[in-house]
Structure 1
Amino acid sequence: MSQQEGLSLPETLIATLLLSVSLLGLLQYYQSLSQGFSRQWQVRQAWSEAHEQLESFAITGKAKELQQNGWRVHITDIKATERCQRVSVSVETPLRYTSQLSRWICRPDAD
């Protein structure tokens, strides 16, 4: 009787199939993880950009230029009194996440 050594063709095919399925699962997991990190980065950047826009408007009276492509900024300026105005900033990311911040800006009296 001769003993068989090594793997047969069906065993090799099954092992290759299992390896392929697990590799595809890992690649899909990696893709969803990368998209989550990208979305989280854009959310943090949107809030940071909205804050910077409010600071820029408080100092200069106008929005600052955006450096990123695909991002949009909308500033709403509502005067409440002669000295005070409410400024709202909305920043939209390329993934369509929107952050909105508002702030009251009051100018000192000119005595």
Structure 2
Amino acid sequence: MGDVPGTDEISQKGFSLPEALIAAFLLSVSILGLLNYYQSLTYGFMRQWQVQQAWSEAHSQLEAYAATGRSHETVMKGWEYQLSEISAGQSCQRVNVVIRSPAKYQAILQRLICKSGG
């Protein structure tokens, strides 16, 4: 009478230790893959932003030089710029602007600026 009927047929529910370890491993590999993708995506966006900023700054430098005869000093921290003038005739100059981003992307623009004689 002390025997409980069906005790030898009790089935356990849940995961075994190897199954749980495999699931944890797959989850960690998936998370590492997503983090790597996020890092690549972030780097790509940063690089694209720097490219856009470099071209915008180069254009701005040329516009300032054409209007005032000198460049303006608004290049962001960590960025480098170089402006050079080359005589191209009696009243014309070829102005070159080189902007380098912190990621070493380089934007180069040139403009021919001629003073109208009156």
TM-score strictly above 0.5: yes
Q: Deviations over 1:3-27 (max 9, x none)?
A: 1201111111110000000000000
> Which amino acid is the alignment partner of residue 30 of structure 1?
Y
Aligned twin of 1:35:
43
Aligned twin of 2:30:
22
Aligned twin of 1:103:
111
Aligned twin of 1:80:
88
Tell me by how many angstroms 1:87 deviates: 0.4
Separation in 2, partners of 1:38, 1:105: 33
Tell me by how many angstroms 1:62 deviates: 1.1
Identity %: 54
Find out whether 1:61 has 2:69 as its counterpart.
yes
Q: How many residues were matched structurally?
A: 110
More off after superposition, 28-37 vs 55-64: 55-64
Separation in 2, partners of 1:6, 1:63: 72
- Where 2:113 maps in the other structure, the secondary structure is strand
- Deviation above 4 Å: which 4+ runs of structure 1? none
Tell me by how many angstroms 1:60 deviates: 1.1
Tell me by how many angstroms 1:2 deviates: 1.5
Larger radius of gyration: 2
Aligned twin of 2:20:
12
Separation in 1, partners of 2:109, 2:47: 19
- Where 2:57 maps in the other structure, the secondary structure is helix
Structure 1 unaligned runs (5+)?
A: none
Separation in 1, partners of 2:27, 2:63: 54
Q: Deviations over 1:20-70 (max 9, x none)?
A: 000000000000000000000000000000000000011111111124101
Counterpart contact for 2:57–2:75, Cα < 8 Å: no
